[in-house]
Homo-oligomer: A and B are copies of this chain.
Amino acid sequence: MSIVRPGASEADRFTVGSHTFNSRLLVGTGKYRDFEQTRLAIEASGAEIVTVAIRRTNIGQNADEPNLLDYLPPDKYTILPNTAGCHTAKDAVRTCRLARELLDGWNLVKLEVLSEHKTLYPDVVETLNAAEVLVRDGFEVMVYTSDDPIVARQLEAIGCKAVMPLGAPIGSGLGLQNPYNIAMILEELTVPVLVDAGVGTASEAAVAMELGCDGVLMNTAIALAEDPIMMARAMRLAVESGRLAYLAGRMPRRAHASASSPMDNLVGRRPG
Contacts and interface: CB of A to CB of B under 8 A. Distances in A.
Interface string A160-198: 000000001111111001111101101110000000000
A244 B178 CA distance: 26
B202 A226 contact: no
A79 B23 CA distance: 36
Nearest to A197: B257
Contact of A212 (B212, B234, B262, B267): B267
Given A202-B210, A244-B234, A253-B200, A151 B173 contact: no
A249 interface: yes
B220 A268 contact: no
A249 B272 CA distance: 13
Interface string A5-29: 1100000101000000000000000
B267 A248 contact: no
A203 B210 contact: yes
Copies in the complex: 4
Given A148-B146, A230-B248, A181 B177 contact: yes
Interface in A40-70: none
Query: Which size bracket describes the interface of A in this complex?
Result: 35 or more
Contacts of A257: 118-121, 169-172
Interface in A120-169: 120-125, 128, 146, 148-151, 153-154, 168-169
Interface of A: 1-6, 12, 14, 115, 117-125, 128, 146, 148-151, 153-154, 168-174, 177-181, 183-184, 186-188, 200-204, 206-207, 210-212, 214, 220-221, 224-228, 230-231, 233-238, 240-259, 262-264, 266-272
Given A120-B257, A203-B238, A212-B269, 12 more contacts: A6-B272, A115-B150, A121-B148, A146-B146, A174-B255, A183-B267, A200-B250, A200-B253, A202-B210, A221-B251, A230-B248, A237-B241
